[in-house]
Amino acid sequence: MSPRQDIDVRPLRDDGIPEWIRALNTGFLRPPSVSEAEIADRSTYLVPERTLGAFDGERCVGTFRSFGQEITAVGGAAVRADAITNVTVTSTHRRRGILTRMMARELTAAEERGDVVATLIAAEYPIYGRYGFGAATTAAEWTIDVPRSGLDPRRAAPDDGGRIDLVDGDDVRKTGPELYERFRRAQPGATDRSERWWRIATGALVLDRVPWTEPFHAVYRGARGEVEGLLSYTVDDRWGDAKQPLQTAKVTDLIAVTPAAERALWRYVCSIDWVTRVRTGWRAPDDLLPHLLPDPRAAAITSQADWLWLRILDVVAALEARTYGAAGALVLEVTDGQGQGSAGGRYRLDASPEGGSCVRTTEAAELTLGVGELSELWLGGESAVRLVALGRVREERAGAALVADALLRTSRRPWCPDIF
Ligand SMILES: CC(C)(COP(=O)(O)OP(=O)(O)OC[C@H]1O[C@@H](n2cnc3c(N)ncnc32)[C@H](O)[C@@H]1OP(=O)(O)O)[C@@H](O)C(=O)NCCC(=O)NCCS
């Protein structure tokens, strides 16, 4: 069906917030009525110029919002991202091109702002590829069968001079942000966390629309007393027959800046009396976890999926922001839509472990790929050889995909621990 031009796509006005929230809740299949508390809360952070509504007369039938974000590139640079969220089109108005109009408007604005990439977490896989996004990170969730893990609770405490302490939400808001900053600067694919994120995670801000259970928080301090890791988890209250404890601990956050902290915190949560199962929450696909247990098979992947979707807006800036696995050069023919997208063109990348330089060129291309595929490769988590096999990248020179992998791939997978 052709786009309906009678639908007005425009930035939010201050007096439009309740109607916009009603449309957002409707689109996400949440009770549509809007509480005063929700209006007050959302008014604290909604930026009208970056909040789009699609209006059929006075009625809001589409929502779309963006905010400024930093994402860590390979090598540790913080790159300016346009983070997209709150995307909905009401079910009566779907598949008429309303999302396409809102996205086009947003990507143009992001380019004008000088954002290097756009990011989002996709509700469903098929939505965003058409706009040049690629699935740049994946995530996995493990369920640990604690009795099977072989961990001896008498030996689960740190044996490296470090220690674990339980702390409360106030402590987490003091130590967590600094720890997370250290973590994310070393983790390609990680995005920054706002003060609001920490307030919600610790119960300082409880939203009436999100069920809240106060978590336990544990910090790991290394031998010198410095905080190196933070774990947050909740535990249910399940008992079997004959008073058998069957509790499940659900990890809501585990951030570590050293392998020692990672090891200590996983072993801690797997050695709490009564807890027979641990659900890890969404982790990096190559998380150390299974191999921190005497029997790694006790940790089974129960869910695995694409996570952060990314779209490169400025190819030169994106490729110059990262470091590479080796020294080498590659000429890329990047397609962006039917030729209209501004990321399209031919680029020569001169890469090295210290960084890269990228210029537009007329040299013969070695690889032809869409901007979505380049976006998927940018954080190092996907393989060009694999995308060639899938028919999504074309080699113009035999062996060019192997060169691309040697330059672009990383030894650890990129990971974005957060949802936004
Ligand atoms: C996803 C959503 C925003 C799409 O809005 P929309 O206005 O219907 O999208 P458009 O009409 O602009 O769609 C453009 C194209 O994407 C396709 N598309 C859109 N959503 C899709 C989906 N969920 N699955 C598969 N294809 C989809 C359309 O079929 C259309 O393809 P075409 O050009 O070949 O006809 C809307 O369906 C929605 O609100 N879904 C529920 C909430 C949600 O999932 N939001 C996304 C949160 S990340």
Per-residue pLDDT tens over the stretch 266-309? 999 999 999 999 999 999 999 999 999 999 999 999 999 999 99
Q: Are residues 290 and 362 in the same domain?
A: no
User: Which residue's structure tokens are 């609001």?
Assistant: 196
Q: Is residue 419 assigned to a domain?
A: no
Cβ neighbours of residue 416 under 8 Å, at least 6 residues apart?
Answer: 71, 137, 139, 189, 190, 191, 307, 308
pLDDT at 304: 98
State the helix-helix crossing angle for 36-43 and 17-27, rounded to 10 degrees: 100
> 339 falls in which pLDDT band (50, 70, 90)?
low
Q: Are residues 164 and 293 in the same domain?
A: yes
CA-to-CA separations, 214 to 83, 96, 173, 251, 351, in angstroms, rounded: 28, 42, 14, 12, 47
CATH code at position 145 = 3.40.630.30
SS3 for 310-323 is EEECCHHHHHHHCC
Q: Is residue 123 assigned to a domain?
A: no
Q: Is residue 172 assigned to a domain?
A: yes
Q: Are residues 182 and 214 in the same domain?
A: yes
Boundary-marking domain end, from 279, 304, 329: 304
Q: Are residues 250 and 162 in the same domain?
A: yes
Q: Are residues 144 and 290 in the same domain?
A: yes
Q: Are residues 210 and 179 in the same domain?
A: yes
Q: Are residues 275 and 296 in the same domain?
A: yes
Q: Are residues 321 and 282 in the same domain?
A: no
Cβ neighbours of residue 360 under 8 Å, at least 6 residues apart?
Answer: 316, 345, 346, 347, 348
Mean pLDDT of the region 329-350: 91
- pTM equals 0.96
Bridge partners (DSSP) listed for residue 88: 63
User: Does pLDDT of 5 surpass 70?
Assistant: no
Q: Are residues 190 and 267 in the same domain?
A: yes
- What is the distance in A from the centroid of ligand 1 to the CA of 332? 30
Ligand 1 and 96: CB distance under 6 A? yes
pLDDT in tens, 39-59: 999 999 999 999 999 999 999
Q: Is residue 239 assigned to a domain?
A: yes
Q: Are residues 86 and 225 in the same domain?
A: no
Q: Are residues 171 and 218 in the same domain?
A: yes
User: Does pLDDT of 419 surpass 60?
Assistant: yes
Query: How far is 81 from 314, CA to CA, in rounded Å?
Result: 11
Backbone angles phi, psi at 161, to 5 degrees: 90, -10
Ligand 1 and 419: CB distance under 6 A? no
Q: Are residues 378 and 348 in the same domain?
A: yes
pLDDT in tens, 86-121: 999 999 999 999 999 999 999 999 999 999 999 999
Give residue 225's identity as a one-letter amino acid code: G
Q: Is residue 1 assigned to a domain?
A: no
User: Which residue's structure tokens are 């999926």?
Assistant: 305
Q: Is residue 135 assigned to a domain?
A: no
Give the residue numbers marked as catalytic. Answer: 128, 420
The parent domain of residue 388 ranges over 314-408
For a mutational test of ligand 1's pocket, the pick from 127, 130, 308, i.e. the residue with the most ligand atoms closer than 8 A to its C-beta, is: 127
Query: How far is 202 from 214, CA to CA, in rounded Å?
Result: 7
Nearest one of 203, 205, 199, 206 to 216, comparing CA atoms: 203
Q: Is residue 36 assigned to a domain?
A: yes
Burial of residue 143 (CB within 10 Å: 0-12, 13-18, 19+) is middle
- Residue 103 CA, closest ligand 1 atom number: 12
CATH code at position 385 = 3.30.1050.10
- What is the distance in A from the centroid of ligand 1 to the CA of 85? 14
For a mutational test of ligand 1's pocket, the pick from 28, 61, 94, i.e. the residue with the most ligand atoms closer than 8 A to its C-beta, is: 94
Supply the residue whose CA is at minimum distance from atom 17 of ligand 1.
127
Ligand 1 and 94: CB distance under 6 A? yes
- Residue 128 CA, closest ligand 1 atom number: 16
Q: Is residue 243 assigned to a domain?
A: yes
Q: How many domains does the chain have?
A: 3
Boundary-marking domain end, from 282, 304, 326: 304
